[in-house]
Amino acid sequence: MTPTTAPPAPTLWQAFRFWLKLGCISFGGPAGQIAIMHQELVERRRWISERRFLHALNYCMLLPGPEAQQLATYIGWLLHRTRGGIIAGGLFVLPSLLLLVLLSWLYMAFGQQPLVAGLFYGIKPAVTAIVLQAAHRIGTRALRNGWLWGIAGAAFVAIFALHLPFPLIVAGAALAGYAGGRFLPQAFKAGGGHGAAQASYGAAVIDDDTAPPPHAQFRWSRLALVAGCGALLWLAPMALLMATVGWQHTYTQMAWFFTKAAMLTFGGAYAVLPYVYQGAVVQYGWLSATQMIDGLALGETTPGPLIMVVAFVGFVGGYGQAPFGAALLPLAGAVAAVLVTWFTFLPSFVFILAGGPLVEATRDDISFTAPLTGITAAVVGVILNLALFFAYHVLWPAGFGSAPDWGAALIGVGAAVALLRYKQKVPRVIAACAVAGLLFKLLVPAL
């Protein structure tokens, strides 16, 4: 029988314990993390109704940044004001950061050991299949008509053949979406990819007809206050870096680069990875292409948002640059990981805490949603390019002039079939591929 009485509103301490638990068990990428939140918050605890949950999710998907982490921030903010949002979003990230710092150190210290090398030999082709699956998943949701397919194709050509920078592609897609919203509104109407509420699990603390609390109502004064605090929280550490180590230092360049990356994560982590690759691998040389693939594999196997791969990028970059000397390489890496995490996630908190009420006020406003619809379509083409980039480095590690790595190709095809045909979970596929890679290394040592 469906409950007709809402449960008691959770205390801040009860919410704290839940968000900490979520940060430790949120495996499976954004889809798995959102599923866990739905099961716990909508079905089991009834802190929020399904309709309000999906409304929050649909708009978090239109913002730059990791949608699952932003959804947690959004719900925490609705329940317990700004401090609730900071607790929910922060605990979604913190366990993953601590674990990735540890794993990154183990990778840098012992990554060349035969056992570790064998495991990563199998994981690399699995990552290629995972990125291909991401392009398929986002494409089936976002490319609803020929116009959006056209934007996706143009974005692929722009980054693959013309080598245009990712921010320029995002700007072009936004402009195309804005024009589409004006002249073809039905083709560019935002759907969010999650549809409408399908079920009721009983009365909730934040129910369908619950009036927005005072702190969720839009006010220009509050928007200015939160935006100002966010700007100060960005400016203070940046000014400290400038004053102590200078603009050209690795840490300062990381802070500036990942601030820009945070503004471009429309469509989730896979969308911004090409930009991170262009900067971290090609422009700055903080890590190699192989290390980038390995970092994505570690990000897939730890809890928290996949964009936490930036912590690995920061750690490897700080470790390799050795700003504190050869004796303190782990400290240099850990400082860099914390630094890039701060500058990557700070905008996400500002977007929710400052923009949440504004997003509510612009519900169904086509001039607001159409540019983001265009960007989401472009993201599909960009992710497909990323899959090809990974496939090239995995299957032809010595370049096209060499013979392909047939062992990696076989593992990659198996991973793609498991993900796309049999809908297996990502951690299970990565584990199976890691074992297969180790067996290949043991049975065929020349690999």
423 CA to centre of own chain: 21
Sequence-separated (6 or more) residues with CB below 8 Å from residue 249? 241, 323
3-class SS of residue 48: strand
Contact in structure between 367 and 181 (CB atoms under 8 Å) = yes
Q: What pLDDT does residue 361 have?
A: 61
Q: Give the structural domain span for 319.
A: 12-195+217-443
Residue burial 406-436, b: 16+ Cβ < 10 Å; e: rest = ebbbebbebbbebbeeeeeebeebbbbbbeb
Q: What pLDDT does residue 435 have?
A: 92
pTM of this structure: 0.73
Let me know if residue 44 belongs to a domain.
yes
Contact in structure between 112 and 401 (CB atoms under 8 Å) = no
Q: What pLDDT does residue 32 have?
A: 62
Distances (CA, A) of 17 to 10, 14, 24, 425: 11, 5, 11, 26
Q: What are phi and psi of 260, to 5 degrees?
A: -65, -40
Let me know if residue 425 belongs to a domain.
yes
Q: What pLDDT does residue 424 have?
A: 85
Contact in structure between 327 and 319 (CB atoms under 8 Å) = no
Measure the CA–CA gap between 265 and 288, rounded to whole angstroms: 22
Measure the CA–CA gap between 188 and 177, rounded to whole angstroms: 7
Sequence-separated (6 or more) residues with CB below 8 Å from residue 112? none
Distances (CA, A) of 305 to 59, 104, 183, 322: 17, 16, 36, 27
Measure the CA–CA gap between 329 and 347, rounded to whole angstroms: 29
Let me know if residue 391 belongs to a domain.
yes
Let me know if residue 210 belongs to a domain.
no
160-193: pLDDT as tens digits:
888 887 778 878 988 998 999 888 888 887 554 4
Let me know if residue 28 belongs to a domain.
yes
Residue 243 CB neighbour total at 10 angstroms: 8
- 269 residue type, one letter: A
Measure the CA–CA gap between 172 and 198, rounded to whole angstroms: 36
Measure the CA–CA gap between 52 and 64, rounded to whole angstroms: 20
Measure the CA–CA gap between 70 and 74, rounded to whole angstroms: 6
Measure the CA–CA gap between 425 and 256, rounded to whole angstroms: 35
Let me know if residue 275 belongs to a domain.
yes
Q: What pLDDT does residue 368 have?
A: 67
Tokens of 227: 């935006």
Contact in structure between 352 and 70 (CB atoms under 8 Å) = yes
Q: What pLDDT does residue 386 have?
A: 74
Q: What pLDDT does residue 194 have?
A: 46
Contact in structure between 390 and 161 (CB atoms under 8 Å) = no
Half-sphere exposure of 4 (CA within 13 A, CB side): 1
Q: What pLDDT does residue 196 have?
A: 45
Let me know if residue 203 belongs to a domain.
no
Report the domain count for the chain: 1
Residues of the chain with pLDDT under 70: 1-2, 27-32, 58-59, 61-62, 190-200, 265-271, 359-366, 368, 445-447
Q: What pLDDT does residue 197 have?
A: 47
Measure the CA–CA gap between 50 and 44, rounded to whole angstroms: 12
Let me know if residue 319 belongs to a domain.
yes
Q: What pLDDT does residue 11 have?
A: 92
Nearest to 336, CA basis, from 204, 237, 413: 237
Measure the CA–CA gap between 213 and 205, rounded to whole angstroms: 12
